[in-house]
Amino acid sequence: MSTEVTVKQLATTVGIPVERLLTQLQEAGISAQAENATITEGEKIQLLQHLRRSHGKKDEPAEQPESEATSVRRRPATNDSRAARPSRPAPNRGAAPQRGSAARTGKSVNVEVRRKRSFGKRNTETPQPAATVRTTQRPEPERTEAKGASPIDEQRRRAELEARRAEEDARRLAEQEALETRQREEARRKAEADARAKAEAEQRRKAEEEQARARAEAPTARYEATEPDEAMPVPAADAGESESETEQQRDERRKAAKKHAERSEKERLERERERAEKDRKAARKEPTRTKKHDPTTALEEETSEEAVITRPSVRRRKKPGKPQLQDKHGFQRPTAPVVREVEVPETISVGDLAARMSVKAGQVIKELFKQGMMVTINQTLDRDTAMLVVEEMGHKAVEAKEEDAEDALMALLEEEVGQAEAQSRPPVVTIMGHVDHGKTSLLDYIRRAKVAAGEAGGITQHIGAYHVETERGTVSFLDTPGHAAFSAMRARGAKATDIVILVVAADDGVMPQTIEAIQHSKAAGVPVVVAVNKMDRPDANPDRVMQELTHHELVPEEWGGDTILVKVSAKTGDGIDDLLDAVLLQSEVLELKAPVEGTAHGTIVESSLEKGRGTVATVLVQSGTLRVGDMIVSGAEHGRVRAMFDELGRSVKSAGPSIPVQVLGLSGSPNAGDDVIAVTDEKRAREVAELRRERDRQTRMDEQRGANLDQLFSQLKEGDLKSVNIILKADVQGSVEALKESLVKLSNDEVKVAVVASGVGGITESDANLAVTSNAIVLGFNVRADAASRRVIEEQGLDLRYYSVIYELIDDVKKAISGLLSPIVTEEIIGLAQVRDVFRSSKFGAIAGCMVIEGVIRRNSPIRVLRNNVVIYEGALESLRRYKEDVSEVKNGTECGIGVKNYNDVQPGDQIEVFERKERAREL
């Protein structure tokens, strides 16, 4: 590496004009005439020495001891009276360590300052250390003795200036060298890169040429094959063929290569552009996501999390969308009809049913129209109709199992009963038997009260319940008219009876209703205790009774069977204690138990509406304890227990298991056999009651429709089949149930008996209208038709009949449908009197001051007392007076005084009906 520089370069380095440098060179004796003349290293030193000399500096030998780092020391000694201060080092010099030796003699201080300059570091850093070293080897007048203030200072300043300049020169030279080196290095690298690029291009071109040649012609290929290892001279080898052709080919190849390069470049640029675009998008998303994750506030964080969570989910949803779209054109209509399983609740609206079948409501309406029903979209359908529609429309209908308020209540009750501790309870006994075999007399004897005597026709009509305390224990009795009410209660799911006492008159033996009673008892799984009654009668034949009973699988114990049989007389009371013993023994065998504490649960034995008292329901408590103030739900009714009475009319506060009580407070009359449940919550009671009411309404509608359909059926399809439609009203629910059951059973192969409607209370206009539409006979049992209904009945020519004896009513219907239309004795009302006031007479008791409003009142005719169109008493007249005179009859529109025999409870507002038994032809 040469260290020679031109004059111009040196002038530039030193920072002086070229002319001046040339002059200085000439002065120094260096022969450099032009600016591009070279100056050697030696000449540089020569110039330097000349310059120093020209500035009056002491000439120092050029040869200094060689060292990597030259130290220049200065030891200025002063005898300054003041404290000597170290001289300030030049800014571009390294900090020199100061070492002061403080030798104080009197007031004078000797200060020695030593400076040290080091160039070693720069030398090592510089790529060309030789030049630098040489430059730094310049002898400098560093050691100067201070002699006198002014010349010494001047000399030092000059020396320092000179040194600085020399140093500057050296630095510039070093920098120049470094710059040159860098430039040379760069040039070299560039040359190498160019050469490499050229070689690569040449190589590429050669490869392309080879390929082209290989494709083009074989001779060329052969030619090339002769000189395979000559890479660069290939074009020259081509020149051997034809110069112009080669040139042309080369141009073409070049063009092709260029095109190819351009295409490659274009593709590359395209790829880069795409990549850049992708990166740009990613960069755009990235800050958003990081921003969302930035938890500056809790709310923001939450929001951002939501966004982060929802965003991919949206994408996820979107992704599968694409194939779906692609597949869309492949959609095909289903080839087979879709059959759905439709759950049908108890009631459902047309609209809801359509929705469950996934069809339009119009289709359901159309279907129903086809079946003869005009409905609207909001109309409610019962389950049967809805299921029929579902099946008709080709779907599968299943009954929906719904957990409604009633189910929930029942579940709760079962749970409570299951948890409560069960205790022994009294047996509940039902007395059954044939007519007049002595059921009422037996119960009466047991209760020590005379009830039988006052009953109309000598037959039990009201279904009651009583409990009696005997010396041997408590027994509760249900007094029912035969087995009809018993079976009606059973039909409602009530199992109120534990033991049946089957009364068989010893003088009469087993009769048809005795057999029916046995069958009902067996069907219910209730054990039977036989009471062979009327043993006091001389013609009593208990053996015959036992004999007949064995035909019906009741074998008495004394004959080796397991049936307890007790011979009694309701008249004399003989054997009654034995009968009660037998009942209690049977109950012990049955181990009857029920929880005493907890929610009360029972059964309605009977219920009726009484003026001033509202609904009066006889409830048999079966488990728990019913208390006054309890909220109860019974059938479709509910209410709070206002008061409770026992069978003797005494007010009671509570009733435990197996105890019957009369309950006041229900919202309406429930049916015999309906359950009674005490609930804590009135809301729940109302819900359950409403649910059941709606169900009952639907059932009634079905019943009505069924009756009409039957009639239609009998008229249109089977001309031979006759249907007798009946509307039945009675004074108490028990009678309604018993009559209904008996009437329906009268149906035979030729005639069908249908009870279109039935209920408790007087016959109303609505009943009459229903009778018109359903072409029904109206039967009143101990009830009467009000004025409005009578008008309708007369206008329409309907058949209205009143009865006060169950078996008369049933027999009438029975005989009528059996074709026994022989004239029979019937009742005919001949007069009606309205009670205006009641007077007390010492001789006759209560005397009713009346106005005859219909017909005629006759002295010797039987009468009935009506209150709110319900018969409350039946008997005879004690007295009939007009102006204190006894008269035999009083006509319509006349006032009179009536005394009722053995009855003193007549009240103003009551009606007294006078009737006669007349013989007339059957109309049924």
480/723 with CB nearer ligand GTP? 480
Contact 525, 497 (CB under 8 A): no
126/514 with CB nearer ligand GTP? 514
439 binds ligand GTP (CB under 6 A): yes
3-state secondary structure of 869: coil
Contact pick of 13, 441, 587, 669 for ligand GTP (by CB under 6 A): 441
CB burial of residue 854 (10 Å; 0-12, 13-18, 19+): middle
Contact 734, 480 (CB under 8 A): yes
3-state secondary structure of 145: coil
Q: How far is the CB of 529 from ligand GTP (least distance, A)?
A: 16
Beta strands in 217-358 (DSSP E): 341-344, 347-349
Q: In whole angstroms, give the CA distance from residue 867 to residue 911.
A: 6
Q: Which two tokens stand for residue 830?
A: 């001949």
Q: In whole angstroms, give the CA distance from residue 216 to residue 206.
A: 15
Q: How far is the CB of 807 from ligand GTP (least distance, A)?
A: 8
440 binds ligand GTP (CB under 6 A): yes
H or E segment to which residue 368 belongs? helix 361-370
Determine the interface stretch with ligand GTP among 17-25, 98-106, 214-222, 451-459 (rule: CB under 6 A): 451-459
Q: How far is the CB of 512 from ligand GTP (least distance, A)?
A: 13
Whether 479 has a binding-site annotation, put simply, is: yes
Q: How far is the CB of 482 from ligand GTP (least distance, A)?
A: 6
Contact pick of 7, 21, 459, 604 for ligand GTP (by CB under 6 A): 459
Determine the interface stretch with ligand GTP among 368-376, 381-389, 532-540, 728-736 (rule: CB under 6 A): 532-540
**Under rule CB under 6 A, which residues in 111-140 are in contact with ligand GTP?**
none
Contact pick of 28, 435, 621, 661 for ligand GTP (by CB under 6 A): 435
Beta strands in 611-760 (DSSP E): 614-623, 626-627, 631-634, 637-645, 651-652, 654-655, 660-666, 675-679, 722-730, 751-760
544 binds ligand GTP (CB under 6 A): no
454 binds ligand GTP (CB under 6 A): no
Q: How far is the CB of 433 from ligand GTP (least distance, A)?
A: 6
Contact pick of 206, 292, 447, 537 for ligand GTP (by CB under 6 A): 537
Contact 530, 494 (CB under 8 A): no
Q: In whole angstroms, give the CA distance from residue 892 to residue 851.
A: 8
Whether 480 has a binding-site annotation, put simply, is: yes
DSSP 202-253: HHHHHHHHHHHHHHH-HHHHHHHHHSTT-STTHHHHHTTT-HHHHHHHHHHH
Widest CA span in the chain: 192
Whether 482 has a binding-site annotation, put simply, is: yes
Neighbours of 828 (CB within 10 A): 13
Which residues are paired to 116 by β-bridges?
A: none
**Computed from CA positions of residues 75, 76, 82, 86, in that sequence, does the dihedral angle turn out positive or negative?**
negative
Q: Which among 697, 687, 631, 680 is positioned nearest to 407, based on CA atoms?
A: 687
517 binds ligand GTP (CB under 6 A): no
178, 179, 180, 183: CA torsion to nearest 10: 120
Determine the interface stretch with ligand GTP among 255-263, 430-438, 559-567, 576-584 (rule: CB under 6 A): 430-438
Helices 682-716 and 765-774: angle between axes, nearest 10 degrees: 30
460 binds ligand GTP (CB under 6 A): yes
160/536 with CB nearer ligand GTP? 536
354/583 with CB nearer ligand GTP? 583
447 binds ligand GTP (CB under 6 A): no
Q: How far is the CB of 742 from ligand GTP (least distance, A)?
A: 13
Q: How far is the CB of 449 from ligand GTP (least distance, A)?
A: 13
Q: In whole angstroms, give the CA distance from residue 3 to residue 174.
A: 11
Contact pick of 52, 425, 490, 534 for ligand GTP (by CB under 6 A): 534
The owner of tokens 């640029």 is 269
Q: In whole angstroms, give the CA distance from residue 431 to residue 298.
A: 80
Determine the interface stretch with ligand GTP among 100-108, 154-162, 322-330, 435-443 (rule: CB under 6 A): 435-443
571 binds ligand GTP (CB under 6 A): yes
Determine the interface stretch with ligand GTP among 216-224, 251-259, 533-541, 771-779 (rule: CB under 6 A): 533-541
172 binds ligand GTP (CB under 6 A): no
Q: In whole angstroms, give the CA distance from residue 60 to residue 205.
A: 67
Q: In whole angstroms, give the CA distance from residue 817 to residue 829.
A: 25
Q: How far is the CB of 639 from ligand GTP (least distance, A)?
A: 32
Q: What is the DSSP code (8-state) at residue 456? A: G
Neighbours of 16 (CB within 10 A): 13
Q: In whole angstroms, give the CA distance from residue 383 to residue 706.
A: 15
Determine the interface stretch with ligand GTP among 36-44, 52-60, 436-444, 658-666 (rule: CB under 6 A): 436-444
430 binds ligand GTP (CB under 6 A): no
Determine the interface stretch with ligand GTP among 367-375, 455-463, 704-712, 812-820 (rule: CB under 6 A): 455-463
Contact pick of 436, 548, 710, 765 for ligand GTP (by CB under 6 A): 436
458 binds ligand GTP (CB under 6 A): yes
Q: How far is the CB of 608 from ligand GTP (least distance, A)?
A: 19
381/743 with CB nearer ligand GTP? 743
Whether 533 has a binding-site annotation, put simply, is: yes
Query: CA end-to-end span of the chain, whole Å?
Result: 151
Whether 433 has a binding-site annotation, put simply, is: yes
Contact pick of 21, 28, 566, 570 for ligand GTP (by CB under 6 A): 570
Q: How far is the CB of 835 from ligand GTP (least distance, A)?
A: 30
437/638 with CB nearer ligand GTP? 437
436/827 with CB nearer ligand GTP? 436
Contact 47, 25 (CB under 8 A): yes
Whether 438 has a binding-site annotation, put simply, is: yes
Determine the interface stretch with ligand GTP among 254-262, 319-327, 384-392, 563-571 (rule: CB under 6 A): 563-571
483 binds ligand GTP (CB under 6 A): no
Q: In whole angstroms, give the CA distance from residue 594 to residue 552.
A: 32
3-state secondary structure of 477: strand
Q: In whole angstroms, give the CA distance from residue 87 to residue 146.
A: 14
471, 472, 478, 482: CA torsion to nearest 10: -110
Q: How far is the CB of 418 from ligand GTP (least distance, A)?
A: 40
Whether 520 has a binding-site annotation, put simply, is: no
41 binds ligand GTP (CB under 6 A): no
Contact 437, 483 (CB under 8 A): no
The owner of tokens 């409870």 is 905
**Under rule CB under 6 A, which residues in 222-261 are in contact with ligand GTP?**
none
CA distances to 414, 593, 623 from 420, rounded to whole Å, are 10, 11, 10
Q: How far is the CB of 871 from ligand GTP (least distance, A)?
A: 17
438 binds ligand GTP (CB under 6 A): yes
Contact pick of 533, 658, 723, 758 for ligand GTP (by CB under 6 A): 533
Whether 153 has a binding-site annotation, put simply, is: no
Contact pick of 162, 210, 536, 646 for ligand GTP (by CB under 6 A): 536
Q: How far is the CB of 443 from ligand GTP (least distance, A)?
A: 8
Neighbours of 278 (CB within 10 A): 10
Q: How far is the CB of 484 from ligand GTP (least distance, A)?
A: 11
Sequence ranges of the binding site for GTP = 433-440, 479-483, 533-536
Binding site for ligand GTP (CB under 6 A): 433, 435-441, 452, 458-460, 533-534, 536-537, 569-571
Sequence ranges of the binding site = 433-440, 479-483, 533-536
